[in-house]
Amino acid sequence: MLNYVLRRFLGILIMLLLLSFVTFVLSRTVPGGPFGKVEVPMGKKQLELFKAKYGLDKPILEQYVTWLGQAVRLDFGVPFTAPEMTVTGLIFKLLPYSALLGFLACVFSLTVGIILGMIAAAHQNSWLDNAIVTYSIVVGSIPAFVLGFVVVYVFAAKLAILPAGGWGGPKYLVLPVFAYGFPAIGGVARWTRQCMVDTISSDYVRTAYAKGLVRSQVMSKHVLRNALIPMVTSFLPMFPGMMTGSMFIEMVFGLPGLGKQFVLSSTNRDYPMVLGITVFWALLLSVTYFITDILYGVIDPRVRITQKSS
């Protein structure tokens, strides 16, 4: 087991290294710089002074090595646009906002999706099943920004019952969470239905009934426990994916968050911030995939054995 864990972490480290280098070079070579958002470009001398101050005048490779040296000690430098904070400080300041939005959206889409999926599976091949499956395909094909507009138009402008943006009490979150979670419902419902249907039609469920178990006992102890495995492995990564912030939703609704910060940092060429967020996202995602695999082992004994041996 240890060998498997070590190999996995080595993989993550190397990926992060490669990713940070590619992002580092990429962000430096995009035209325009942190000094660029002005009406008139800075004079040559002023430019040199500015670059010297932020160490941008050294060759890219050297800058990368210094950055890496600090990054290894978890010091990701200071964002240009918020000099009073550190990159990690700003990330962890904005993360709760994105995390809250993403978490609520995930919970929303999972609960609705799983319920729909179960209903569809319970009434397999009935009109209800077909209705839910078609609905989830349609929902899946509506792009997020289209939905964002429609939702804002209907609730904020026409009915004027919910604020269209900004950050305040809970009612500011209703629309963004709906717009963010809604598209995912389709996928969740179809995958839940698929897992449930496969499990219900399996032989060991028939054996469970043959043993004299009541329908509810069969459902909870046998069906759910087996259907859970594929569901968990695909639903768990949804959380970090959504909780690290969404660019569209945070921009359309004007919410603070990592997604919007990443877009702003990119347009302001705030290099330390761009790198910090990218590495943070990659680390969070790969750790979650790792945890999902481990969890996969906990839930499904068959995998646990093979993990010990490999």
Which listed residue (167, 236, 290, 293) binds other proteins by CB under 8 A?
Answer: 167
Cα gap 112→103, rounded to integer Å = 14
Kindly state whether residue 29 participates in binding other proteins, applying the rule CB under 8 A: yes
Contact flag: residue 286 with other proteins (CB under 8 A)? yes
Query: Applying CB under 8 A, does 220 fall inside the site for other proteins?
Result: no
x-or-dash string of contact with other proteins, 231-260, rule CB under 8 A: ----------------xx-----xxx----
Record the tokens describing residue 14, joined without a space: 């190397």
Answer yes or no: are the C-beta atoms of 16 and 283 closer than 8 Å: yes
Q: If binding is defined by CB under 8 A, does position 170 make contact with other proteins?
A: no
| CB of 253 vs other proteins, minimal distance in Å | 9
> Cα–Cα distance between 3 and 309 in angstroms, integer?
10
Q: How far is the CB of 143 from other proteins (least distance, A)?
A: 5
The alpha helices in 161-256, defined as continuous H runs, are 171-200, 203-210, 215-217, 225-235, 238-243, 247-252
CA R_g for the chain: 24
Segment contacting other proteins by CB under 8 A, of 67-75, 108-116, 145-153, 232-240: 145-153
Pick 108 or 254: Cβ nearer other proteins: 254
Q: What span, in angstroms and rounded, lies between the C-alpha atoms of 299 and 232?
A: 9
Task: Determine, following the binding rule CB under 8 A, whether residue 291 of this chain makes contact with other proteins.
Answer: no
Binding of other proteins by 141 (CB under 8 A): yes
Cβ neighbours for 128, distance < 8 A, ≥ 6 positions apart: 119, 120
Tokens encoding 69: 């040296």
* 66 lies in the site for other proteins, by CB under 8 A: no
Binder among 4, 57, 80, 93 for other proteins (CB under 8 A): 93
115 vs 224 by CB, closer to other proteins: 224
Cβ distance to other proteins smaller for residue 3 or 267: 267
Q: How far is the CB of 54 from other proteins (least distance, A)?
A: 9
| Residue 192 binds to other proteins (criterion: CB under 8 A) | no
Q: How far apart are CA 229 and CA 231, in angstroms?
A: 5
C-beta of 90 vs 132, nearer to other proteins: 90
Q: How far is CA 200 from the centre of its chain?
A: 31
- Least spacing, CB of residue 225 vs other proteins, in Å: 6
Are 211 and 142 spatial neighbours (Cβ–Cβ below 8 Å)? no
Return d(Cα 286, Cα 282) in angstroms, integer: 6
Kindly state whether residue 27 participates in binding other proteins, applying the rule CB under 8 A.
yes
Among 61, 65, 107, 137, binds other proteins (CB under 8 A): 137
Q: Hunting for tokens 């990564």 — which residue is that?
A: 237
Helix axes 87-122, 127-140, angle to 10 degrees: 160
Helix (H, G, I), strand (E, B) or coil at 122: helix
Total residues in contact with other proteins, by rule CB under 8 A: 110
Stretch that binds other proteins, among 63-71, 99-107, 113-121, 224-232 (CB under 8 A): 224-232
Contacting residue, 66, 75, 111, 215, with other proteins by CB under 8 A? 215
